[in-house]
Amino acid sequence: MSNDMYHDPIIAWSKRKEHMGTLQNADCRATENNPLCGDRISVEIKLHFSRITEIAFHVRGCILAKASAAHLAFLAEGLDLEALGQLRKFFGKALKSKDEAFPFPENHDIFNPVRSRKSRHSCVLLPYDAAMQALRSVGGEESHYEPIQSIGRTISKSSFHDVHLNALTLPDHPTACTPAVPVKNPSSPNRLF
Amino acid sequence: MIFDVDHIQRQFAIIRHYASEGRFHYLDNAATAQIPDCVLAAMTTHDTRARANVKRGIHRLAQEATDAFENARDQIAKYLGIENSDEVIFTSGATAGINVIAQGFGQSLKPGDEIVLSQAEHHSNLVPWQMLKQRKGVRLRFLPVDENGVIDLSRVEASITPATKLVAVTHASNVTGAVTDVAAIRKIAHERGAKLMLDGAQMAPHGPLDLPGLGADFYVFSGHKTYGPSGVGILWGRMESLEQMPPTFGGGEMVGHVTYEKTSYAAPPRKFEAGTPPITQAVGLGVALEWLGNQDLPGIHNHLNGLTDRIMAGMAQLNNTYDNRIRILGPPRGAQRLPLISFAVKDAHPHDICQIMNDRHGVALRGGHHCAEPLHEIFDLDGTTRASLGMFNGQEDVDALLNGLEDCLKILD
């Protein structure tokens, strides 16, 4: 993959507007700031049994923050705080890893060029932090498990939280990269999706 | 005499090092300027020939270290245009200098006393006063800036009152490059019985300075912006102001006589230099300012003004093609300003611009609010991108900046 951070998939994601704006009757909301650059991300979320059913971001920030927010919004449906937290941990660990072979979460490879630019890590993680903050505000519980090493297997040590983020792909995805869309299935408590 | 930028560039190891890459355009001098060989050599020589603690030792190296340290103080005093080098206090930087004043000068202030700042201040000349406000209940007033970021002199008379104890303003803005009309502010401040402190972090690299002529009571700046090392800076104060001001830090070296019950303090500058100072850095800063003072400063000014004008003209040309997307902050072309240009691009985030400039064009810029968040709010901007010039910059750096900016305009639409 090109090391150019402003490659077409990132640009395309940054321009997606489907999940940008506000929600009526949101169950929780939060705003996170990056004091280093002044970026600000607000998120509003609707929930069903603690899991995200709708999510909308408002991003005052750079292309990376916008792309990451749009990308996360596509992934977020069906996630609860624990699953989102695991994804955030894994994503953060992949970004920080000095091992180029360290895998990114499924469908996050487009952010690979960000890895070598440490000062930009917070740009792509800010949407995750905002969403987690919103879920915490309504009493969501986080896992204390270590982040998983590879999505497509288990996301935590508990089979309760098995995740297969590559289960589905988005048909109108703007790039060759295929972000997964979690399937909302709250009636099946042993699986997230 | 014709200013020779090639001659200057050859004196910087970092420029020689990256010259082979062909793409090294360092335009972040307002944050940290590069350091010439003579400064590096002076610090290396000091640490390999005279490294020891200062003032206390009898042995040879202690004597040599003390001599080097005090010689640096003299070199700096000369650059500042002052005769009494005891008025030169080594700090860790401009921020530390302002904090020393805020805590020391501020110690005697009482509720209702006023500190006058301007809207153009760096956070380092805002937050220490907000902290003083919390401790002492003083009032903060702000001199407004006009649309170019220049302090509005028509408001100075009304803003500085008999309750004003200190006016603390920037000598030149790190965002707009606007230079403060010190004389007008000093006159009113002193008429009302207030002291005047200038934050010279941005102006000091563009000397020569004449502190007695400026008429300020305190002046602060940093080493790393004046072609010197980081970790060192200067607080200058008129001797009577320094004598009146209590010390901020207690410890070794700043004392006269110590008992278990109480301590008398040494005279300035020792009174404000508790503990072991940044000795090697001080030696480096002394050499840096001596080197800077020996340069063809009028030639450098002409050179940098020419490059600044070339940037502003280039941006105006890009605006013709790209629908006026570039907004330049600060005084217009031809007006007095520092050689730094902060600009906003419609629909483009400063960090994206900086990243593209770095990755594709080898141009080092600074993006964000440059530690002046309230000023950006006045301009209704989340942040700006800043190009700031040093004496080693040339036309090739300006051309790379403008080419890169056009690239950004195409990518970030």
Contact A64, A86 (CB under 8 A): no
**DSSP E strands, A17-102:** 28-34, 39-48, 51-60
Mean pLDDT for A132-159 is: 56
Task: State the amino acid at position B265 in one-letter form.
Answer: Y
SS3 B142: strand
Residues of B in contact with A34 (CB under 8 A): none
Q: Give the separation between CA B1 and CA B3, rounded to whole angstroms.
A: 6
Contact: A36, B383; criterion CB under 8 Å: no
Q: Check CB contact under 8 Å for A63 and B382.
A: no
**Residue pLDDT tens, chain B, 413 long:** 678 999 999 999 999 999 888 889 999 999 999 999 999 999 999 999 999 999 888 999 999 999 999 999 999 999 999 999 999 999 999 999 999 999 999 999 999 999 999 999 999 999 999 999 999 999 999 999 999 999 999 999 999 999 999 999 999 999 999 999 999 999 999 999 999 999 999 999 998 899 999 999 999 999 999 999 999 999 999 999 999 999 999 999 899 999 999 999 999 999 999 999 999 999 999 999 999 999 999 999 999 999 999 999 999 999 999 999 999 999 999 899 999 999 999 999 999 999 999 999 999 999 999 999 999 999 999 899 999 999 999 999 999 999 999 999 999 98
Q: Around Cβ B312, how many Cβ atoms within 10 Å? A: 20
DSSP β-bridge partners for residue A30: A43
Among the partner residues A5, A36, A39, nearest to B355 by beta-carbon distance: A5
Hey, is B137 helix, strand or coil? coil
Q: Nearest-CA neighbor of B174 among B129, B120, B130? A: B120
Residues in A touching B367 (Cβ below 8 Å): 37
Q: List the single residue in B with minimal CA-CA distance to A64.
A: B352
Is 0.95 exceeded by the ipTM?
A: no
Q: What is the pLDDT of residue A163?
A: 30
What single letter denotes the amino acid at residue A89? K
Strands B164-170 and A39-48 come out as unpaired
Judge: A38–B356 Cβ closer than 8 Å, yes or no. Answer: no
Does residue A173 register a pLDDT over 70? no
- The number of angstroms, rounded, from the C-alpha of A26 to the middle of its chain's C-alpha atoms is 19
Structure token pair of residue B267: 């005279």
Could you tell me which residues come within 8 angstroms of residue B45 by beta carbon, excluding any fewer than 6 positions away? Answer: none
Q: Residue A37 and residue B359: Cβ atoms within 8 Å?
A: no
What distance in Å separates residue B352's CA from the closest CA in chain A?
A: 6
Q: Which residues of B touch A61 (CB under 8 A)?
A: 349
B141 touches B164 (CB < 8 A): yes
CA B86 – CA B64 distance, rounded (Å): 19
Q: Which of B38, B354, B371, B408 is catalytic?
A: B371
Look at A64 and B352 and tell me if their CB atoms are within 8 Å.
Answer: yes
CA angle A148, A153, A157 (to 5 degrees): 50
Tokens read off for A56 = 């909308």
B269 prior amide bond cis, ω within 30: yes
CA-based nearest residue in chain B for residue A8: B411
Helices (H) and strands (E) in chain B, counts: 15, 15
What is the distance between the alpha carbons of residues B215 and A47, in angstroms, rounded to a whole number? 64
pLDDT of residue A2: 57
Residue window 321-350, chain B: list those with CB within 8 Å of chain A: 349-350
What SS3 state is found at B348?
strand
B408 is catalytic: no
- β-strand partners of A136: none
Say if the Cβ atoms of B369 and A38 lie within 8 Å.
yes
- Burial (CB count within 10 angstroms: exposed 0-12, middle 13-18, buried 19+), residue B154: exposed
**Cβ-proximal residues to B194 (8 Å cutoff; 6+ apart), any chain:** B116, B160, B164, B165, B166, B167
Q: Please provide the distance, in angstroms rounded to a whole number, between the alpha carbons at the two ends of chain B.
A: 45
Mutual angle of helices A63-76 and B350-361, in 10-degree steps = 110
Mark yes or no for CB contact A11/B356 under 8 Å: no
Q: How far is B372 from chain A (nearest CA, A)?
A: 11
* B residues 383-412 lying closer than 8 A (beta carbon) to A: 383, 411-412
Which residue among B351, B359, B382 places its CB closest to the CB of A4? B359
Nearest to A5 among B359, B369, B376 (CB): B359
**Taking CB atoms and an 8 Å cutoff, what residues of chain A touch B352?**
6, 62-64
Q: Measure CB to CB from residue A61 to each of B349, B355, B411 and give the nearest one.
A: B349
Q: For B382, which of A36, A60, A123 is closest by C-beta distance?
A: A60
User: Could A37 and B383 be called an inter-chain contact, meaning their C-beta atoms sit closer than 8 Å?
Assistant: yes
Q: What's the token pair of residue B149?
A: 């970021």
